[in-house]
Amino acid sequence: MLTSEHQGPIERAATALRSARLERAPIPPLRHDFDPADIQTAYAIQLATLDLAFMNGRRLVGRKIGLTSKAVQANLGIDTPDFGALFADMEVPDGGSVDLSGLITPKAEAELAFVIGASLDSPDVTTSEVARAIDGVLPAIEIVDSRVADWDITAFDTIADNASAARYVLGTRPVRLRDVDTRMCGMVLERHGEPASTGAGVACLGDPVLALRWLAREMAARHTPLQPGDLVLTGALGPLVSLSAGDHLEARISGAGSVRVSFHHSGASS
């Protein structure tokens, strides 16, 4: 790895983000050191963070889509979704527990996950082609976390920070796409049995399948197309939920099933 005096600004930003994640020590917003409107530079920083992850043996298993809510896009000054990478070490088993001492200021959201069954290598792939490529649908809880202090982020900051990805939990019983009304499916995310967030598929870019189409086109245009076996988290179906030790969450999505996760604090970094 390059020493700091030999790194350019993109590499320095990537190194700072990795250190923030490992040390649970958030950093100031990255946009102050770059043109905040230069989204491609933000993705270049994200790519540099992925290079560091690969160098340290982390295994890529898929992608996540973020900023799928028009209201969130407006708040962050962007008119498109964003994407990040999912690694194998981010997965938490259904019903498992997440150690909050390994994160900074995490939040949770419920969404649909798709397992890809065919290559999506065309930058103008159609909705029907995307739908045919979905091998399975699963309910998911994504735990997001910002390595930028106090969630003081714009689109530039979250894109550079791997779309704020941290952990994810998947249901264990995939269903067929035809068995889920991805646009109208209702979602409830409960904390200790009480609703903490509600929503529907339409909140995710109008339909999670359309979110997947956006991602498939974007990844193909970047010459890193989605491949068979890839996992895609398609974006929140309702508002984020803040987390505390002792919380138990269960997400239910009509047609897709349910998924559960708990949270604890070990009192030590892991």
pLDDT the model gives residue 71: 80
Which residues share a beta bridge with 142? 109, 168
pLDDT of 1 > 90? The answer is no
SS3 content of the chain, % helix, strand, coil (to 5): 35, 30, 35
Tens of pLDDT, residue by residue over 121-145, are 999 999 999 999 999 999 999 999 9
d(C-alpha 92, C-alpha 79), whole Å: 31
d(C-alpha 96, C-alpha 79), whole Å: 35
Alpha-helical (H) ranges within 24-126 are 39-55, 70-76
d(C-alpha 12, C-alpha 48), whole Å: 9
Tens of pLDDT, residue by residue over 41-59, are 999 999 999 999 999 999 9
Q: Give the pLDDT band of residue 267 (cuts 50, 70, 90).
A: confident
Tens of pLDDT, residue by residue over 71-86, are 888 877 788 999 999 9
pTM of the model: 0.95
pLDDT of 210 > 90? The answer is yes
pLDDT the model gives residue 270: 40
pLDDT the model gives residue 166: 98
Percent residues over pLDDT 70 in the chain: 96
d(C-alpha 168, C-alpha 161), whole Å: 16
d(C-alpha 238, C-alpha 77), whole Å: 20
d(C-alpha 103, C-alpha 199), whole Å: 26
pLDDT of 222 > 80? The answer is yes
Q: Map out the domains of the chain with their CATH numbers.
A: 4-264 (3.90.850.10)
**Mean pLDDT score of the chain, rounded to an integer?**
95
Residue 71 class from Cβ within 10 Å (0-12 exposed, 13-18 middle, 19+ buried)?
Answer: exposed
pLDDT the model gives residue 268: 57
Give the three-class secondary structure for 239: coil
Percent residues over pLDDT 90 in the chain: 92
d(C-alpha 148, C-alpha 155), whole Å: 12
